[in-house]
Amino acid sequence: MFRTMFRVLPTVVLVILMMTLSACDTTTPAPTPAPPTPMPAPTRGPASKNVQLTDKDQGQTVELEQGGVLEITLPGNATTGYTWGILSNNGDVLQQAGDWTYKPESSADGAPGMFTFQFRGMTTAGTSALKLGYKQWWDDAMQPDPTFAVTVHVSAAAAGSQTSLTDKDTGKTVNLVTGDTLVLSLPCNPGSTGYEWRVMENNASVLQQQGDGQYQAGGTMPGAAGTCVFTFQAVGAGTSALKLGYKQWWNEGMAPEQTFEALVNVNAPTVGGAMPGDVPLYVQIGDQDQGQTVEVGQGGMLVVELAGNATTGYSWGILSNDATVLRPTGDAEFKSGGDQPGAPGVFTLKFEALSVGTTSLKLGYKQWWNAQMAPDPTFEVTVRVLPNPNLTTTQLTQSNSGQTITLNKGDVLQVTLDCNPSTGYSWRVVQINNAVLVPEGDGEYQPGAGAERVGAPDQCTFRFHAVGSGTSTVKLGYKQWWDAQMAPDPVFEVTVTVP
């Protein structure tokens, strides 16, 4: 019995001891970790007037103002036949501005470079899933690799300045910046006469009408005349020949009893004085740039300075160049490097970047009266004239004849006139001041809507570049030019002022 009790006792003691220790344990259990505070959802930032992206921005979401510019620069190599192109985009929201450009990283054959695209936010606010692809585009079976995709939200631009016009301003030229508002107020009486104002001509990609015209009564009397107010927003760089007519519009045979016309120039937005992707408009090079590729924006100036000595009869001159791309503005100018007779110095040649393209500019140093002398040394560079996003093109038609136009240096004047070459008649420039305006070629012929009919009237377009300060009469005549006795009829004439 005692042996049994002693066998049980240790077990009982052990149990009591464990219970005692358990009761004495005062350690607080570790609390369960609280769930992490969720991060707030990212909010969309304010829309920007101009946005620049690279391949590092793949998959991002960007905010762009209406009228703003989105620039995308992506690496590639055009010498392989591969280029970047658009796979998907909502063109109502985001519209490509011109063609892409390519810049090689060096002058070496086969050098890779960068492709640049520009898009403009349209007046339709919304979202575009923009996707670009890199491939040889003539190969329909080839899948683009790589691709670049971003989501672009286009929202209302910050309020710009407002310009107000009335019927007394007809015939004027108005200068705006994208985002600005144009308010046009015209006297009208639609209630009792059935007459109303309507837009007859407008470039909606430059100037977009905001809703229908609003009638404001001029009094409480029935049939009282009032004012019709039209609101337009400047949405893109360019020119609009705005024209409104006043008539009973159900009467198709009725000509407008009154018209209102204004030429509206819209300039691109600026940020700190420059656009993203802004191109150099003044480029200076010298002997050390031999063999290089240089870039200058359309409307800009290329200045070449080369060592020489005019007292020897030698001078620098042009051996080869495409003057439709890069126009020399005069002969070489020499500046002596010292006061001593016969001192050497520097020759300066200046060129105006007329049109987008590439030219191989080659200069030679010789006595030019000696036809047998080979130039030695020579200087050669490749010049690429790039699209200038700040360049303004003013578009005119026959209805603008007689007006006075103001351009800035580098701007382009484009004149489009009805023509019919099949009759032997053609347009030609008969008067111009080439120190102020320079024609770009001899004009371009464009078949019209009736091109399928023999002898149908078409259009001829002339472009002029503003290259210097001053005033020029631009006069074109339409006639059979082999007939010396025939007077041009019709004629187109405007006065152009360049500050």
Task: Identify whether 67 is part of a domain.
Answer: yes
- 10 Å CB burial of residue 491 (0-12, 13-18, 19+) is middle
Closest residue by Cα to residue 418 from 397, 403, 449, 400:
397
Tell whether 226 and 188 lie within a shared domain. Answer: yes
Q: How far apart are CA 377 and CA 373, in angstroms?
A: 12
Could you say which DSSP state residue 204 is in? Answer: T
Say what the pLDDT of residue 234 is. 85
Say what the pLDDT of residue 5 is. 39
Say what the pLDDT of residue 108 is. 78
Tell whether 150 and 168 lie within a shared domain. Answer: no
Task: Identify whether 28 is part of a domain.
Answer: no
- Vertex 397, ends 183 and 462: CA angle to 5°? 130
Task: Identify whether 277 is part of a domain.
Answer: no
Distances in Å between the Cα of 121 and the Cα atoms of 95, 179, 231, 237, 394 are 7, 11, 20, 12, 21
Tell whether 382 and 402 lie within a shared domain. Answer: no
Number of residues assigned to the chain? 499
pLDDT tens string 201-216: 988 877 888 888 888 8
| Final residue of a structural domain among 122, 155, 188 | 155
Q: How far apart are CA 245 and CA 228, in angstroms?
A: 12
Tell me the CATH number at 85.
Answer: 2.60.40.2020
Tell whether 185 and 104 lie within a shared domain. Answer: no
Task: Identify whether 40 is part of a domain.
Answer: no
What parts of the chain have a pLDDT lower than 70? 1-50, 67, 98-99, 123-124, 156-160, 219-223, 237-238, 267-279, 281-282, 389-390, 440-441, 448-457
Question: CA dihedral defined by 94, 99, 105, 110, rounded to 10 degrees?
Answer: 130
Task: Identify whether 239 is part of a domain.
Answer: yes
**CA 208 to mean position of chain CA atoms:** 17
| Final residue of a structural domain among 354, 386, 418 | 386
Q: How far apart are CA 227 and CA 263, in angstroms?
A: 22
Tell whether 83 and 142 lie within a shared domain. Answer: yes
171 touches 261 (CB < 8 A): yes
Tell whether 129 and 183 lie within a shared domain. Answer: no
pLDDT tens string 434-485: 778 877 667 777 776 544 444 556 788 888 878 777 899 999 999 998 888 8
Say what the pLDDT of residue 158 is. 55
Say what the pLDDT of residue 236 is. 73
Tell whether 369 and 465 lie within a shared domain. Answer: no
Tell whether 293 and 356 lie within a shared domain. Answer: yes
Task: Identify whether 119 is part of a domain.
Answer: yes
Range of the domain at 117: 48-155
Tell whether 231 and 246 lie within a shared domain. Answer: yes
Give the 3-state secondary structure of residue 243: strand
Residue 152 is encoded by which pair of tokens?
């672009």
- Vertex 104, ends 302 and 411: CA angle to 5°? 35
The DSSP bridge pattern shows strands 437-439 and 258-267 to be: unpaired
| Final residue of a structural domain among 155, 176, 195 | 155
Task: Identify whether 489 is part of a domain.
Answer: yes
Name the phi and psi angles at 169, rounded to 5.
Answer: -95, 10
Q: How far apart are CA 384 and CA 298, in angstroms?
A: 9
Tell whether 404 and 494 lie within a shared domain. Answer: yes
Overall domain count for the chain: 4
Q: How far apart are CA 319 and CA 325, in angstroms?
A: 15
Tell whether 166 and 238 lie within a shared domain. Answer: yes
**CA 421 to mean position of chain CA atoms:** 33
| Stated pTM of the model | 0.34
Beta bridge partners of 243: 201, 261
232 touches 214 (CB < 8 A): no
Q: How far apart are CA 295 and CA 97, in angstroms?
A: 20
